Amino acid sequence: MAFWLDLMFGNAIGLLSMIVIFATIGIMSYIMWMFVSKSKPQ
């Protein structure tokens, strides 16, 4: 856990990579939610 905290708050590169990872997860979940909601029968 200390490693993750050091990555997030220790330097800007770790914080940027965390932001990129969470943004990617958010975009993928949004795309999956749109796909599931569009593929439901009307």
Question: pLDDT tens across 1-42, in order?
Answer: 677 777 667 777 777 888 899 999 999 999 999 999 988 876
Give the pLDDT confidence score for residue 12 in this predicted structure.
77
Structure tokens at 11: 């330097």
Report which residue type is found at 18. M
CA–CA distance, 6 with 24 (Å, rounded to integer): 21
The angle subtended at Cα 1 by Cα 30 and Cα 5, nearest 5°, is: 75
pLDDT given at position 8: 66
